[in-house]
Structure formats: structure tokens, C-alpha cells
Amino acid sequence: MQINPLHPLFAAEITGLDTSAPVTPQTVEAVEAAMAQHAVCVVRDASLNDEDQIRFSRAFGEIEMPPGAEASRRPGVAKELFDVTNLDAKGEIAPSMMDAKTQGILEGFHTDSPFNTLPTKWSLLLGHVVPPVGANTNYIDMRAVYADLPEATKTRIENLVAVHDLFGAFDRRGVKFGTDEMRKQFKSVAHPLVRTSAGGRKALYLGWHAVRVEGLAEDEGCALIDELYAFATQDKYIYSHKWRQGDLVIWDNRCTMHAATPYERDRYKRDCRRTTLYEFGSEPSGEDAVTAAA
């Protein structure tokens, strides 16, 4: 394995790692150490076999199962994988089901599965087919963001808890989103604004899905969230990943945010598949398995 930095603050490229091979304790130790340091790691030329991705992922934690009925899944995509694609069951480009405003909200900076009662460790997204233009994924190192916050702000937010609410976040932006069934599945969850990352550094935990702060008036809480979000999304904190086929991008949801960028979805095919890992706990079923696939 070779590890090469991709950004002055975080993110690294890993070459020479065969994800189709048995995962040894030495591999686990090396990847865990790289993630603790860099928070985002790009494994080049990963196996495009679903079972290899699942087996490799499970070496680092329990897999969070995607929601939805089996009948609605794309044929050939393993049930453990979130299907991040614009393709239909026949492999052709499907018309978008979302208007531009809704799509734009979903492309804001976020973490995966903030609506889970079980915490989320890493996401591992594998590029099978990637557009030649656009569709970058942008990442932010929330450890670096926290380190640069004014001391007065750090003191203010140290023990605060933010509420993450998918539907409240859409309502706040003037969009009615989701069905009654989705509202039963994706519930409001509170998370500390400040977490300690795997590498021991404090990180801001945020996303467009944060809607209020416990113990603060609604206006004050919203203003604080907006202030922190604006600070975090400065260009200097962003690594923009240009996808290649076979890239397996691993990111730590506990200390990063990420955002999709637009592409000509009616012109170019995109087929990416994601596993997401719990920080602790076992693979659940039923309602506890439901997550936000944003």
C-alpha cells in the first residue's frame, strides 16, 4: 500500500490495495490508521464485484442495510448496497423524479444517516460507471473547521446538541418532501454539535439536515446553525473528488461532510454503490435498519 495526500488538510489516495483479496489484520490496521489521519481515503482500482465490496466493508464494522422493498431494487445490485445511480432496471438512464429545487437541497453538504439512532462510522462508495464531466463529490474536513473556529464559538457550542430532521429541513427551505410512510421511517435525532474523532481531534458535526439547537430559541438556534454551516463550507476546507472507474472512496461521517455536484444526468450514466457502517452495534432489521440514503 502507498498513501499519497490529496489536499493540504485531509484526504489521501491509497494504491496497491487489492479489495478482492482476503482482508488481513494488517490491512485493517493500516486502513484504520489512514482514515484516522486523513478522514477521506480513495482506494484506486478497487474490485467492482459487489460481494468483494461487502466483504471488504465488513472488515471495518457492521453494515447498515438500505431501506426499501427488494422488488424495487435494480437487478444485480446486492441488497446490502445503497444504489446511487440514474439507471433503471434495464441499465438505461431513467427520468429524474425530483424537481430542481429538491435536487439542489439534497446536494447540500451533509453526513450519511444522521437520522439513525445508531451512529454511523464510514461510508464506502464505489464507482462502477462515472460521468466523464461533472458529478464530483466534495468533502469537508470538520476537524479542520472546528480547529479554526473562534475560541468564543468553541466555548459556546461545546455542550450543545443539534436536532437533525429531514422533513423539517425541507420545510425550512419551503419544500414539502416525503410521504407519511417516510415520516415514520426518518425520525428527528439529536446529535452533539462537537464530537471527538477517531484520531482524537474534535470535529463539528453538522449538515443541511440540522434544523434547531436544543435549549436555544428557534431563531437563535437556526442562526447559529447557519453561521457554522457558512464557516464550514469555505473553499479552503473542501476537497473535490473527480471520479474514476474503480475508485472506492471511504469517508468518516463523524468528522466530515460531503456533497454531490451536478452533472448532465439525462446524458451520462452513473452507477455507484455504497456501503455504510455503524460505529458500533450489530446489523439490525426492520425499522432500525432504515436510513437516509441522501
Question: Above pLDDT 70, what percent of the chain?
Answer: 94
Of 62-71, 117-126, 211-220, minimum mean pLDDT range: 62-71
Give me the amino acid identity at 207.
Answer: G
pLDDT in tens, 219-240: 999 999 999 999 999 999 999 9
Residue 228 lies in a domain: yes
Phi then psi for 100, rounded to 5 degrees?
-65, -35
Residue 70 lies in a domain: yes
CA-based radius of gyration for the chain: 18
When pLDDT is cut at 50, 70 and 90, the band that residue 144 belongs to is very high
Any idea what DSSP says for residue 33?
H
Q: Which domain holds residue 186?
A: 2-289
User: Cell triple for residue 283?
Assistant: 446489523
Domain count, the chain: 1
How far apart CA 99 and CA 152 sit, in angstroms, is 40
CATH number for 96:
3.60.130.10
When pLDDT is cut at 50, 70 and 90, the band that residue 287 belongs to is very low
How far apart CA 190 and CA 192 sit, in angstroms, is 7
H-helix segments, 3-141: 25-38, 50-58, 100-106
Residue 63 lies in a domain: yes
How far apart CA 187 and CA 265 sit, in angstroms, is 30
Residue 229 lies in a domain: yes
* Core vs surface per residue 31-41: b (16+ CB within 10 A) or e: beebbeebbbb
Residue 294 lies in a domain: no
Pairing of strands 189-192, 82-85: unpaired
Answer for the pair 125, 272: CB distance below 8 angstroms, yes or no.
Answer: yes
How far apart CA 170 and CA 168 sit, in angstroms, is 5
